DNA sequence: GGAAATTATTTCAAGCTTAAAATAATTTCC
DNA sequence: GGAAATTATTTTAAGCTTGAAATAATTTCC
C-alpha cells in the first residue's frame, strides 16, 4: 500500500526497476497542499460572509493581537512569511479601515510600529473566537492523538525543509 | 505537552476552566499552513531560477500531462481547486508561450479542450523530474513510516474538512 | 568623522486569485 | 418545440503576492 499504484512488482523488483522514484514524497506534498487549500477556502469564505474581511487581513491582525506593544513591518513580514512589499499594502488598507495604528518608532527613523486600534482589537477578538471554533469544527474528525501525531510530523517536515533551504531559525 | 502552554493546572481544572478551548486545533492548522508556505516558497524559487516558470503554470501543466486527450477548463479548475476565471488567464498565458494548445470540443460549443503541445510536454517532463527530486530532498528527513502516517492523517483531515464543508466528493 | 555595508521600508511591474456578473450553449421537461 | 434551468466559460473589479529596484536611515569599521 505504501506505493499507491497496483504494479505487479514485488519489493525487490521495485528497488531495482525504480532506483530513484520519489512519487510517494510527491503525493505527500500534493496532499498537504490540497488539505491546506480545502481548509483555507472554507475559512476565507466564512470570514467574508460573517465579518466581511479577507484572510490576509485577519492573519495580520492575529499577529498584532499577540504584540500589544506593536510590531515593526519587517517583523510582520517574517512572521506571516510574505514579502515586505506585501505588508506595506496590507497595512495601508487596514489603517484606512481604522483597524490599525501606525507610528514612527522612537529610536529608528526607518522603522514604523504598527498596532491594533481599540476598535481593531475588539473586532479581532470577536472574529478570532469564531475562527477558532471553525477550525475545531473542520478538524473535528481527528482524535486528540491524531492531532498530536500530525503536529509532531508536520514539525518534522518543517525542520526537514528548513534544513534543505538553509534557514534553520525563524518562527 | 498536548496543551502547549505551561499553565499550572491539572487535567481536571483544565476541563473546568476552559470548557471549549480549541487552541490545539488552531496550532495544528497554523503549523500545516506554515509547513506548506515554507515548502512552496522554495519550490517557487527553484522553478523560477532553473526554468523561469511560475508555480501556477507548472501545476496546470502537471494536470495536463496526466490527460493526454486534453481537459476542459472547468475540469482544470476543479483539479487545481481554483476559480474558473483564474484558469482562463493562466491558460491564455501558457497558450501564448506555446506550451498549450486550445481547441473547441467536438460536441459542445461551450467547451474548450486544452492540452500540452509537443514542446509543452517535453518542457514539462524535464521540469517534473527536477521537481520530484526537490520534493524528495525537502522532505528527506521523514522516514518512510513518517510519510505513510502523514499521508494517512492528512487524508483524514481532508475527509473531516470535506464533511464539514459539504462536498464529500471530488479528487 | 566619513565611506561602505547593512537594515527597514516603499515603490513598481507583472502576475495570480477571487467572487460576482455576464455571456453563451446545452439540457430538461413540459 | 420552446421556456426554464443548468452548465461552461469569460469578463470585471478589487485585492493579494512576488521579486527586484529604489530610497532612506543606521551601523560598521577604518
Quickly state the pLDDT bin for A2 (edges 50, 70, 90): very low
Average pLDDT over residues A96-113: 93
Helix, strand, or coil (residue A114) = strand
Option in A38, A154, A165 nearest B161 (CB): A38
Best probe of the B interface among A3, A15, A139, by most B CBs < 10 A, is A139
Question: Are A62 and A128 spatial neighbours (Cβ–Cβ below 8 Å)?
Answer: yes
Cα–Cα dist A51/B66, whole Å:
40
A154/chain B closest Cα distance in angstroms: 7
How many percent of chain A have pLDDT more than 90? 81
Chain A residues 30-59 within 7 Å (CB) of strand C: 41, 44-45, 48
Rounded to the nearest 10 degrees, the angle between the axes of helix A55-65 and helix A23-51 is: 90
Query: What would the pLDDT profile of B82-127 be if each residue is shown by its tens digit?
Result: 999 999 999 999 999 999 999 999 889 999 999 999 999 999 999 9
Is the CB of A72 less than 7 A from some atom of nucleic acid strand C? yes
Mean pLDDT value across chain A: 89
Q: What is the pLDDT of residues B5-37, one digit of tens each?
A: 454 545 554 455 566 788 999 999 999 999 999
Dist CA A39 CA A139 (whole Å): 9
When pLDDT is cut at 50, 70 and 90, the band that residue A4 belongs to is very low
Residue B115, CB, less than 7 Å from strand D?
A: no
Q: In what order do the strands lie in the sheet with B100-104?
A: B71-72, B112-116, B100-104
- pLDDT of A14 > 60? The answer is no
Q: Please, are residues A4 and A24 in contact by the beta-carbon 8 Å criterion?
A: yes
Q: What is the pTM of this model?
A: 0.86
Please state, in angstroms and rounded to a whole number, the distance separating the CA atoms of residues B70 and B67: 5
Q: Name the nearest CA neighbour of A63 among A87, A33, A30, A98.
A: A87
Alpha carbons A77 and A86: distance in angstroms, whole number: 8
Which chain D nucleotides are covered by protein, judged by CB under 7 A? 7-13, 15-21, 24-27
- Residues of B numbered 37-76 whose beta carbons fall under 8 angstroms of chain A's beta carbons: which are they? 37-42
Residue pLDDT, tens place only, B117-170: 999 999 999 999 999 999 999 999 999 999 999 999 999 999 999 998 865 443
Q: How far apart are CA B128 and CA B48, in angstroms?
A: 14
Q: What is the pLDDT of residue A85?
A: 96
Amino acid at each position: 500500500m505504501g506505493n499507491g499504484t497496483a504494479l505487479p512488482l514485488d519489493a525487490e523488483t521495485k528497488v531495482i526497476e525504480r532506483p530513484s522514484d520519489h512519487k510517494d514524497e510527491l503525493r505527500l506534498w500534493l496532499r498537504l497542499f490540497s488539505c491546506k487549500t480545502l481548509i483555507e477556502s472554507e475559512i476565507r469564505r466564512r470570514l467574508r460572509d460573517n465579518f466581511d474581511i479577507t484572510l490576509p487581513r485577519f492573519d495580520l491582525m492575529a499577529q498584532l493581537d499577540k504584540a500589544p506593544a506593536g510590531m515593526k513591518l519587517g517583523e510582520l513580514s517574517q512572521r506571516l512569511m510574505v514579502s515586505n512589499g506585501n505588508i506595506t499594502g496590507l497595512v495601508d488598507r487596514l489603517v484606512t479601515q481604522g483597524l490599525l495604528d501606525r507610528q514612527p518608532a522612537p529610536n529608528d527613523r526607518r522603522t514604523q510600529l504598527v498596532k491594533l486600534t481599540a476598535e481593531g482589537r475588539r473586532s479581532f477578538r470577536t472574529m478570532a473566537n469564531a475562527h477558532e471554533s471553525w477550525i475545531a469544527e473542520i478538524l473535528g474528525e481527528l482524535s486528540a492523538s491524531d492531532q498530536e501525531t500530525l503536529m509532531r510530523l508536520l514539525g518534522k517536515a518543517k525542520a526537514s525543509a528548513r534544513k534543505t533551504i538553509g534557514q534553520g531559525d525563524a518562527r
